[in-house]
Structure 1
Amino acid sequence: MRTICIVTATRAEYGLLRPVVQKISKSDMLALQLVVTGAHLCPRLGETVQEIERDGFPIAARLPIFTEDAGEPVAKTIARTLTVFDDYFAAHRPDAVLLLGDRFEIFAVAAAAAARHIPIAHISGGDVTLGAADEYYRHCISKMAAVHFPSCADSAARLVRMGEAPGTVFCVGGLGDENIRTMPKMTRRELCDSTGFPLMQPFALVTYHPETAPDAGSPAAQVQALCAAMAAVDGVFWLITGSNADAGGEVCTRMMQAFAAAHPDRAGFVQSLGLRRYLSAMEYAALVAGNSSSGVVETPTFRVPTVNIGRRQAGRTVCANVLCCDADRAAIEAALRKALSKAFAPVAASARSPYNGGNTSEKICTVLQNFDFARPKIFYDGPVPEFDPQRSVLV
């Protein structure tokens, strides 16, 4: 059996990885080595390891990398993560490491694995997010990876243009799309009871993270603009979730908590909804707003009106249900009103997701079982083939 080490550091990442974790844990060909780190183990960020524990998956290791200092420079966290994971991989060497996305923690894990010559399998490479430092972390991980699982045809083609050989690029579709299609959702009443908020009325699901590009504006000023716009738009309850571990995330979270506390009849705050509640909330929401990748990547499957604020997701494929606006009060308010209008409802309903690859997690597991990780990595300079997430994975 091949031992596949899956590393998860955030609630959003684990939600996407969950079907792959589930299939590997039941596989006769693959052995699961699940390593939990980052925000999952941090009390100030919700300690979301509890969700993994509730799912019952065996956790091979819990490796803390964050301190209680929310303002610690990212470079110091990366350095600590490299050291912690180098020690772990030295003692518990897997056959391959499966990583998702583009966060700095995952970049550090990838660097530690690459330094030990452990093959890397990378999910969601080839994406573009011009408003976040994730942009270069993601592409760095791709260049270290032996095999790639992009979520759509555009990303797959971009990986090949970056020099990744077509035989290592498997356009499998999006795990978020698979979750939406396969995970049983709560009823609306169950969602109300679970959150404690009056969600039988029209409500908006709001998640806002700091922009991390070098020229990004003030996260506090952007959240202040968002809060002012929400206060000005009546007729909707604002269900707000906490921000992430990026620099400025703590400020975003505190301001959102303060907004909910100041408008108890119109807003509620939950640090982390967890996967099932989050997808259930997205299904029933009249609107999704903020700058999370889920607002661009996952909402098209629900065809829910969405407002994507600022530049954090700039460069991603944007579907018909998504309105993009600047991170200032007037622009946000105008976009919220348009998204909630009767005129926009049929536009949102026309959205078609480019991320539907069918049984994405099964395709990933098939490749992990059969891929030749000993093949040398080359820089490919040839033509770019056509990719289709619906094609069968042939190894």
Structure 2
Amino acid sequence: MSQPVKLAVVTGTRAEYGLLRPVIQNLMACPEAELSVLVTGAHLAPEYGNTVAEIEADGVPVAARIPILAPGESGPLATAGAVERTIHGFVRWFAENRPACVLVLGDRYEIFAVAQAAAFAGVPVAHISGGDVTLGAADDWYRHCITKIAHLHFPSCDESARRVIQMGEQPATVFNVGGLGDENIRTMTLLGLDELSQSIGFDLTRPYGLVTFHPETAGGADPAAQSDALLAAMDAVSAATGLHWLVTKANADAGGLIINEELDRWAAAHPDTVAVRTSLGVVRYLSAMKGAAVVLGNSSSGVVETPTFGVPTVNVGDRQKGRPICENVIGCPADESAIEAALHKALSPAFRTTARKARSPYNGGNTSEKIVEILLREVRRPGFGAPKTFYEGELPK
């Protein structure tokens, strides 16, 4: 039997780990893989919930913790500083440990920096969820840069796979495997509302909305003004309908701490109708999504994962602009009156009927198993990781 392949998987946020979780579990169970899970970013920051504990609670050994966030930093300089620390820390780890490939997911700045570090160290990159478009976030260009570094691509739908090839990637390296979020929803054992309420410490047997709102990092939007508009609209809808709110805090993007401070003040003023949590973890988050009367905000989960449940969703602003939008999603500007109107529409019986008909474009079957199988096969191919050539042939129809 051949030696196990040394592979690294990197995770920096709660949402990303929730998607990578089945891939990591399959790699851990595979005798052909020698896996190192590298943890960084918001996972290691108290202000974002120290969510590395969720990884360890799943029984996942953490091979390295590489902290990159500096307390007190904010804005573009904080992002640049985190990128600098990421490159420095990960180049050292890759140089010392020499994995055959590093697997990354998505489009955040720390993952962009990890991909750069791997390239500097001569370690090939495999990339999940390339080819997506999110015009309201700097993640859009981070993602495309990662695509050009990566040797192996796992886009989540046909449209994204085509874009990866349009960027000059060889079709033989592009595998449309479907979405990991969709797989989680179809395969994970979720909690009922009574159990979820007890776990969170907030009564979710009453109608509630699930909310996640991140900064728009492209276009110059003001996170404080946008969150003010969001919270005012939520107050108005609660007054009219009695709806309660379960809110997960913003991520570590520039402006996220501003939003989170606003959320804490708002929750303190509404203790009976609002629960704000730093992180729910993937099981509780998807359980809450399943039971929600409406999902609100600008998280990718609102447009990528809610169609599988058929839950009414209001997508606010431009952060997710460019992604496929299904029938269950209403888009609106980050304006109080527009958000309020969209929420009332989403809560209507007629729209709930429409939302149930949504069909996700991300259903790829056993996505995590496909990724592991293809990754192990391709990494063993002679010449894997050699300099890439630009594809200039026909595009898939």
Give the TM-score normalised by the residue count of structure 2. Answer: 0.96
**3-state SS of paired residue (1:343):** helix
Moved over 4 A (4+): none
Gapped regions of structure 2 (runs ≥ 5):
none
Indicate which of 155, 161, 167 corresponds to 1:156. 161
**3-state SS of paired residue (1:346):** helix
Offset at 1:375? 4.9
User: 1:366-381 to 2 correspondence within 5 Å?
Assistant: 366-371=373-378, 372=381, 373-381=384-392
Separation in structure 2 between the aligned mates of residue 137 and residue 21 of structure 1, nearest angstrom = 23
Q: Does 1:174 align with 2:179?
A: yes
Q: Does 1:383 align with 2:390?
A: no
Write out per-residue CA displacement over residues 231-279 of structure 1, whole angstroms, 9 at most, x where no aligned residue. Answer: 0003211101111001110010111121111111221111100111000
The answer to whether the 8 A contact 1:285-1:304 is kept is yes
The answer to whether the 8 A contact 1:8-1:35 is kept is yes
Indicate which of 108, 114, 124 corresponds to 1:109. 114
Separation in structure 2 between the aligned mates of residue 152 and residue 189 of structure 1, nearest angstrom = 35
Determine the structure 1 residue equivalent to 2:24.
21
Q: Does 1:87 align with 2:92?
A: yes
**3-state SS of paired residue (2:65):** strand
Determine the structure 1 residue equivalent to 2:103.
98
Write out per-residue CA displacement over residues 332-359 of structure 1, whole angstroms, 9 at most, x where no aligned residue. Answer: 0000111011110111011000000000
Determine the structure 1 residue equivalent to 2:226.
222
**3-state SS of paired residue (1:246):** coil
Indicate which of 228, 232, 257 corresponds to 2:264. 257
Q: Does 1:244 align with 2:288?
A: no
User: 1:1-395 to 2 correspondence within 5 Å?
Assistant: 1-71=4-74, 72-213=77-218, 215-234=219-238, 235-371=242-378, 372=381, 373-386=384-397
Separation in structure 1 between the aligned mates of residue 385 and residue 318 of structure 2, nearest angstrom = 39
Separation in structure 1 between the aligned mates of residue 73 and residue 258 of structure 2, nearest angstrom = 10
Give the TM-score normalised by the residue count of structure 1. Answer: 0.96
Separation in structure 2 between the aligned mates of residue 64 and residue 166 of structure 1, nearest angstrom = 36
Offset at 1:23? 0.3
Q: Please report the RMSD computed on the Cα atoms of aligned residues, expressed in angstroms.
A: 0.9
Separation in structure 1 between the aligned mates of residue 305 and residue 154 of structure 2, nearest angstrom = 17
Separation in structure 1 between the aligned mates of residue 361 and residue 34 of structure 2, nearest angstrom = 31
**3-state SS of paired residue (1:65):** coil
The percent of aligned pairs where both chains have the same amino acid is 59
Write out per-residue CA displacement over residues 99-158 of structure 1, whole angstroms, 9 at most, x where no aligned residue. Answer: 000000000000000111111000000000000000000000000000100000100011
**3-state SS of paired residue (1:332):** helix
Separation in structure 2 between the aligned mates of residue 142 and residue 342 of structure 1, nearest angstrom = 42
Offset at 1:376? 4.1
Write out per-residue CA displacement over residues 291-347 of structure 1, whole angstroms, 9 at most, x where no aligned residue. Answer: 000001000000000000000000000000000000010100000111011110111
**3-state SS of paired residue (1:320):** coil
The answer to whether the 8 A contact 2:70-2:78 is kept is no
Separation in structure 1 between the aligned mates of residue 214 and residue 117 of structure 2, nearest angstrom = 27
**3-state SS of paired residue (1:20):** helix
Determine the structure 2 residue equivalent to 1:390.
none
The answer to whether the 8 A contact 2:151-2:385 is kept is no
Question: Which amino acid is the alignment partner of residue 391 of structure 2?
Answer: Y
Separation in structure 1 between the aligned mates of residue 44 and residue 97 of structure 2, nearest angstrom = 20
Separation in structure 2 between the aligned mates of residue 130 and residue 380 of structure 1, nearest angstrom = 25
Separation in structure 1 between the aligned mates of residue 69 and residue 375 of structure 2, nearest angstrom = 30
Separation in structure 1 between the aligned mates of residue 67 and residue 385 of structure 2, nearest angstrom = 31
Q: How many residues align?
A: 385
Separation in structure 1 between the aligned mates of residue 161 and residue 385 of structure 2, nearest angstrom = 22
**3-state SS of paired residue (1:330):** helix
Write out per-residue CA displacement over residues 177-235 of structure 1, whole angstroms, 9 at most, x where no aligned residue. Answer: 0000111001110001011111001110000000000x231000000000000000032
293-302 vs 67-76, greater mean Cα deviation? 67-76
Offset at 1:70? 3.9
Question: Which amino acid is the alignment partner of residue 62 of structure 1?
Answer: R
The answer to whether the 8 A contact 1:128-1:315 is kept is yes
Separation in structure 1 between the aligned mates of residue 315 and residue 81 of structure 2, nearest angstrom = 31
Determine the structure 2 residue equivalent to 1:392.
none
Change (3 A) 1:162 1:222: same
Question: Which amino acid is the alignment partner of residue 218 of structure 1?
Answer: D
The answer to whether the 8 A contact 1:3-1:96 is kept is yes
